[in-house]
Amino acid sequence: MNHAIELDDLDRELIRILELNSRMSYRKIAERLRVSPATVLVRLRKLRRKGIIKGFTVDLDPTKLGYTAQAIMLIKTEPKKMKLVANKLASLPNAVEIYEVTGEYHVLVKIWAEDQNSLAKLIDLISGIEGIRDFNIVYILKVVKEARSPL
């Protein structure tokens, strides 16, 4: 059973605009959508009320913040330790994304570090977390695309 909330073309376009610039004024959005600012406000309230829009945020460039080394760690955990490992990772500020996943690995974590040496120290710290059985590192060379949604 699919629990997806149906969106019409106006909702989808509104979301696309906000993904590019969530600070755009309602008036500007309304101009681009060829609707009234009141329509934009009503649609935004509906999307927030239904939980489709969870909040408005900034899109940071890690390299401009001094984080020149990024990696993804694929982590295998001991049986019944996945949640413990994920919660411990969540306490690390350099762990910017954490997912419980299926397949050969149980947890995927994206990490940012200032440089290769800092990244190596962070990997050593993470690999010592209780419950981690094995891991694999994927170094990010270049970001080709980062999207918030497929809309």
> For every one of its 151 residues, what pLDDT tens digit does the chain have, with 9 covering 90 and above?
567 788 999 999 999 999 888 899 999 999 999 999 999 999 999 999 999 999 888 888 899 999 999 999 999 999 899 999 999 999 999 999 999 999 999 999 999 999 999 999 999 999 999 999 999 999 999 989 887 778 7
Q: What is the DSSP letter of 106?
A: S
Q: Which CATH architecture has domain 62-139?
A: 2-Layer Sandwich (3.30)
Q: How high is the pLDDT of residue 140?
A: 95
d(CA 118, CA 143) in angstroms, rounded, equals 20
CB 73 within 8 A of CB 126: yes
d(CA 135, CA 73) in angstroms, rounded, equals 7
Q: What is the DSSP letter of 4?
A: P
CB 52 within 8 A of CB 16: no
Tokens representing 34 are: 């060829």
Q: How high is the pLDDT of residue 147?
A: 79
Q: How high is the pLDDT of residue 2?
A: 62
How far is residue 87 from each of residues 23, 129, 137, measured CA to CA in Å? 32, 11, 19
Q: How high is the pLDDT of residue 56?
A: 85
User: Per-domain residue ranges for the chain?
Assistant: 9-49, 62-139
Which phi and psi (to 5°) does residue 51 adopt? Answer: 80, 10
Q: How high is the pLDDT of residue 6?
A: 87
Q: How high is the pLDDT of residue 112?
A: 96
Indicate the fold that domain 9-49 takes in CATH. Answer: Arc Repressor Mutant, subunit A (1.10.10)
